[in-house]
Structure 1
């Protein structure tokens, strides 16, 4: 019999809030973390705005030893360690002693590209014939699994310690990987999340594709406009989100705070066939993923009362809403409440799924559905599908019971997870 899986710890390092408390307040009030980036202007980017966490040096010093900080030049690792350590501490789990790891504790922490700034520095050193000046941590900072290796060592985890990478789907996929491992009895608790570096070397390729807004450089907080008729492209972002997944049995035994239960989910790919491509989702695959997630979670589509969508502020938002309607067979006033956090944090790429999952879970805690920012002019094709009341522009009071969160990534890959409010009476 599969074990039930719950969430007992949260951590986040987001453009509009570092730490769960600040992030929650920002989402409730609609505070934006999208800012003008002078370095992008200096490099002649068309889009000169982005969402980047504001992490002060004195905060970083609380998470890294002086030795670890020596030569550290990988923003994604900084974000991931802050979010991951906070989630672990929030769950009140111990750090393994120096003699042996905790064999029941694992890490599944994803990323896209890690340590690009460190890699650039390394390339310059090598080209200058100064390979011996690279330092002993250049490999750890630039390999994708560097983030899970850092966290695994800091916490002393002896179960599976790995890094997944599936573009924008990475964080949501990681939750499902952790869920499946715990449900199968292969681990008791797993720290899962994802992170993404900041900076021009991450965002430059998207600017070159001309898919970022270029007319909001003087008005950055209005630039990211999910589900809006005036949406002009996604705003790049960065950061990290993390959560501790744990067997219900273990959580109850420890007396842990339980934020929500993970019911299940699904992952698939459209294979870049039909209407799918490297950058566009195959609608049939998206719908199949949502339907499978509902079926695997043992609930009915009619039970879902809240959705946190992928919804990137592009023309594909209309297609996504249509896919939700078709998959759930619900529309108009019968459609669940739906929101997107990208209006205030931008599209945080590999970190998007994990940051947005943390925000989704916080809606259970706060008994609210957080508002959609920059969505006063809902796209008319969306209003024909969904009652605008179901797209709250301001945060509303609502006790969600079952929530769906989905991510649809570059490469035509999809993931959908279902969460349930935990009452303690089940």
Structure 2
């Protein structure tokens, strides 16, 4: 008999809300976190808007000691630690300074990069022959596994402590890796999630690729337009999402709040073959990933009530919808509701999958489907495939039972996970 795996804790640092209460309010009410970025304008980026969490010095001091913050310059680790510890506390778990590690608990916390600003600072010091002035934390801040290392130490985790990295699919993949570890009985709980650095040194490459929105610099909140006919590219974003994934038996034993259940999922790659490339998805692989996620979850396509898509506000949005219709065998008014959180946060890159998964879980737990802002001019290629009513403009209050969440990343990598409203 398969172990049941559930979600018992949530934590978030998103452009439109730091902390679960603020984030929930924002997605229900269509609040955008996208703002004008003076630094991007100064550096002459074509896209001069971005989604970035608002973290005060006071909030930082709640999660890091004064000594830790000395010379600290890694936004990815900052976002990840804040989200991770919120999720841990939200799950009703305590932070204790025991002599022994917590052997039953670990973390799989993804990242695309770590400490890019710290790298830049270090390069300048080295070039100026000041290597001895780099400081003692430069390695921890710049290693890709820095976020999981910080969380492992702060929480005393004794099970697996690692960082995965699969471009935009990172967060969704991390949740599935945690699910697999608990399914196999190797852990009772895993703090899963992902984080993404912010700033021009992360976003510059995408701006150079001309895939970012440059037409809405004077109207930032209108800039991210997934599924829209006037979509002009994605808006860069950053942040972190964290989930406590737990064995159902352990969760019940603790009397924990259960937000949702993970039924299963799938990860694969299109191998950059066929119509796939470093930057474009192989449609056959995308469809297979979705189909295999359903098989692994032991559900039929007709049971899916809603989809939280990848949907980045690029020319690939209509292709993604087409892939969903083919994989599910559902179209027009038979298609599930679909939404994209990126309309409110921008594309949070390696953090996207975990932040968007939290949005999916909140919809199941509280009974709603959040609206797609900036999508009143739905793309005609999409209206040819599905009923426009399946792309709600404003939040609708229904009771979804099963939501599919998918992420598709650079390198032609895919991840799809199936969440279900928890029922004993």
The 2-side partners of 1:288 and 1:304 are apart by: 16
Match of residue 331 from structure 1: 331
Tell me, in whole angstroms, the C-alpha distance in 2 between the residues paired with 1:410 and 1:51.
20
Partner of 2:347: 347
Instruction: Look up the SS of the partner of 1:88 in the other structure.
Output: helix
CA offset at residue 307 of structure 1? 0.4
Q: CA deviation at 1:35?
A: 0.4
| Partner Cα distance (1:329, 1:2) in 2 | 27
Asked if 2 retains the 8 angstrom alpha-carbon contact of 1:171 and 1:193, the reply is yes
Extract unaligned runs of 5+ from structure 1: none
Q: Tell me if structure 2 keeps the 8 A contact 1:96–1:157.
A: no
Using structure 2 for the length normalisation, give the TM-score: 0.99
Question: How far apart are 1:252 and its partner, in Å?
Answer: 0.4
**1-structure distance, mates of 2:399, 2:98:** 43
SS at match of 2:55: coil
How far apart in 2 are the matches of 1:17 and 1:146?
A: 24
Aligned to 1:134: 134
Offset, 1:70: 1.2
Give the Å deviation of 1:384: 1.2
Q: CA deviation at 1:215?
A: 1.5
> Once the 2 structures are TM-superposed, how far is the Cα of residue 93 of structure 1 from its aligned partner?
1.3
- Say whether residues 1:77 and 2:67 are aligned partners: no
Could you tell me how far apart the structure 2 residues matched to 1:303 and 1:13 are? 31
Deviation, 1:366, is: 2.0
Partner of 2:3: 3
Q: 1:67 & 1:92 partners in 2: Cα distance?
A: 28
Give the whole-Å Cα distance in 1 for the aligned partners of 2:2 and 2:110: 25
C-alpha deviation, 1:96, in angstroms? 4.2
Q: Deviations over 1:173-212 (max 9, x none)?
A: 0000000000110000000000011100000111111111
> How do 1:26-425 and structure 2 match up within 5 A?
26-424=26-424
Look up the SS of the partner of 1:369 in the other structure: coil
Distance 1:130 1:40 in 2: 29
Q: Which residue pairs with 2:16 in the alignment?
A: 16
Return the offset for 1:365. 2.2
Classify the secondary structure of the residue corresponding to 1:240: strand
8 Å CA contact 2:364, 2:402 repeated in 1: no
Distance (Å, rounded) in 2 between the aligned partners of 1:182 and 1:196: 25
Aligned residue for 2:63, secondary structure, equals: coil
Residue by residue, what CA displacement relative to the aligned partner does 1:346-394 show, whole Å, maximum 9, x if unpaired?
Answer: 0000000000001111101221000001000001111111111111000
SS at structure 1 position matched to 2:389: helix
Please report the RMSD computed on the Cα atoms of aligned residues, expressed in angstroms.
0.7
- Whether contact under 8 Å (1:195, 1:351) holds in the other structure is yes
Contact 1:405 1:417 in 2 (8 A): yes
Q: Is the CA contact (8 Å cut-off) linking 2:368 and 2:396 kept in structure 1? A: yes
Question: Gaps (5+ residues) in structure 2?
Answer: none
Misfit runs of 4+, over 2 Å: 94-98
1:195 partner SS: strand
